[in-house]
Chain A
C-alpha cells in the first residue's frame, strides 16, 4: 500500500479551553477526492484549519507526504503544497479579482496554474479582472476563491463548504469544475453539508459528529441510513 499523502492520527484541537476535535484519524491518498460531511459544529472546519496551520495541532498528529506538519505556520504548509478555499470565500475586499488571485500566488510552487490559465478557464473572471472582488456574484466569488487557492499550485486542495449560500445550479457548475483539477493529479478534500453532493464528487466519505469521526467508507458503499445515523449521532 502506498504511503498516504495526508495521514492524521489522533488529532485533538482546542479553541482556548473548548475542545473541538477529539482524536481524529484521517487519510488521503494521492489523486483521491475525499469528502467530509457532518452537521454544524461537528468539527469539519476546525479540522481543515488544523491541516492548514490556522489552528494549533500537535506536530506528529498530521503528516503530509511523510513529514510532520502539525502546528507549523500556514505559510510553511502552503509552500509544502496544501491550499485551502476557506468557508465563506473570504476574498480580500480591498483587492481586485486579479489581485486576489495574485495573493494566492504569493507562496508559489512550480506547476501549471497561472493567471493566464485561470482566466482562460473562467473567462468571466477575465472580463472582471480589475473589479473589486466582492462586487461579483456569489458563484463568481467562489470561482475566484478556488482560483486563488490554485495559484499556489498545491498538491492538495481543501474546499470548505463550496456550496454555502449558492443556488443549486451554481453549485452544480462549480463542482463540475472539480474533476478538472483531479485529472491533473491533484488530491481534493471537500467539506460539505450537502450529503448528496458530497457522495457524488468523492471516492470516500468521512462523517464527523461532535468532533469525532462517526463513520467512514467508500462513497458508493454507504447507505442513507448509515449516513443519517452517523450525521445525527443516533
Chain B
C-alpha cells in the first residue's frame, strides 16, 4: 500500500510539470491553452528527434530543447496568440484547439501512429532502495525533484522578482499596468516563453518515462487541467498539491482495477468541483 501511495506521489510530480505551464498562462493572461498536452507531446518528439539525430543523451537533448522552447513560446504568444487575449474566452480556445489539431496531424504525418520513446540509457530501470526495503525508480524520483524545483522557482519568480510583480500587475489590471509603462504584449510573451520551458521539461520526462504517440495530447491536457483545478487557481504550490492528489487517486484506482484508474481521477476532480469549487488552496484575490 505504501508503495502505491509513493508511486502516486511520484506520478503527481509528472502531472505537476504538465500543469505548471497551464497554471502560469492562465494566471497571467486568463488564457486557456487547450493545446497544452499536444505541445508536451511535441516536445517529446523534439527530444526523440534530437537524441536520435545527434546521438546525444537525454540530458543534452533537454538542454537543447529548453531554450528552443523558450523562443518558440515567446514567438507563439507574440505572433499568434496575442490577439486572442481578452475577456472573451472563445478566440484563445479556438486558436489553441486549432493548434492542437494541427500538431496532432503534423506529428502523425511525420512520425506515424506508432508509439515512440526516448532512449534513457538505463535511467528508466534504475532504482533507489530506501531503508525498509522499498525500491523507488530513479527516474520518477528525478521527475518529482524537478517538479519541486520548478514549482519553487515559479513561486519565487512570481513573489520575489520584478518580473513576477509585472506578471501579477498585468494580470490584475492590464490597462493600469500599461499606464505604469509596462509593455503588456512583451510581458505576456515572456510568460508564455517560461511556460513553454516547463512544457519542454515535461515532454522530455514523459518521453523518458513511457512511450508517446501523436494522439496523446488531449489526455495529458485533462490531467494538467484537473491538477490545476483540484489544487486551486492562482497558486503554484496549489497546482503541485493538486497534481499529487490526482496522481495518488489514479494510482490507487489502478491498483483496484486497471480499467478504472483514470476514471477515479476524473471523479475526484468532479467531486472537488462540487464540494469545494475554488480548489484546495486557492489564492484569494483582494
Contacts and interface: CB of A to CB of B under 8 A. Distances in A.
Interface of A: 52, 54, 73-75, 78-79, 84, 86, 90, 92-95, 99, 102-104, 106-107, 132-135, 148, 152
Nearest to B158: A94
Interface stretch (B88-96, B104-112, B165-173, B191-199): B165-173
18 contacts: A74-B179, A78-B179, A86-B179, A92-B168, A92-B169, A92-B172, A92-B176, A93-B285, A94-B171, A94-B172, A94-B286, A95-B165, A103-B166, A103-B169, A103-B180, A106-B166, A106-B182, A152-B181
A224 B42 CA distance: 71
A93 to B, nearest CB: 3
B286 A135 contact: yes
A74 B179 CA distance: 5
B183 A75 contact: yes
Given A74-B178, A148-B180, 8 more contacts: A73-B183, A74-B181, A79-B181, A92-B177, A94-B169, A94-B286, A103-B165, A107-B181
The listed residue with most B CB atoms (<10 A of its CB), out of A54, A84, A94, A95, is A94
Given A102-B165, A103-B165, A75 B172 contact: no
Interface residues of B, number: 19
B77 to A, nearest CB: 19
A78 to B, nearest CB: 5
Interface of B: 162, 165-166, 168-169, 171-173, 175-183, 285-286
B207 to A, nearest CB: 36
Contact of A75 (B162, B166, B173, B178): B178
A75 B166 CA distance: 14
Nearest to A108: B181
Contacts of A75: 178, 181-183
Contacts of A104: 180
A79 B179 CA distance: 10
A131 to B, nearest CB: 10
A107 B286 CA distance: 25
Contacts of A79: 181
Given A134-B286, A135-B286, A78 B180 contact: yes
Given A102-B165, A132-B286, A135-B286, A95 B181 contact: no
A148 B175 CA distance: 15
A54 B179 CA distance: 7
B165 A73 contact: no
B226 to A, nearest CB: 24
Contacts of B173: 90, 92
A54 to B, nearest CB: 6
B180 A106 contact: yes
Contacts of A106: 166, 180-182
Contacts of B182: 75, 106
Contacts of B172: 92-95
Contacts of B286: 93-94, 132-135
A200 to B, nearest CB: 27
Contact of A103 (B175, B177, B183, B285): B177
Contacts of A54: 175, 178-179
Contacts of B177: 92, 103
A50 B183 CA distance: 18
A129 to B, nearest CB: 14
B175 A107 contact: no
A133 B286 CA distance: 8
A51 to B, nearest CB: 11
A203 B230 CA distance: 58
B179 A84 contact: yes
Nearest to A105: B180
A95 B179 contact: no
Nearest to B170: A92
A75 B182 CA distance: 6
A19 to B, nearest CB: 21
Contacts of B181: 74-75, 78-79, 106-107, 152
A132 B159 CA distance: 13
A99 B166 CA distance: 10
Contacts of A133: 286
Closest 6 CB pairs of A and B: A107-B181, A93-B286, A134-B286, A75-B181, A94-B168, A92-B172
B44 to A, nearest CB: 34
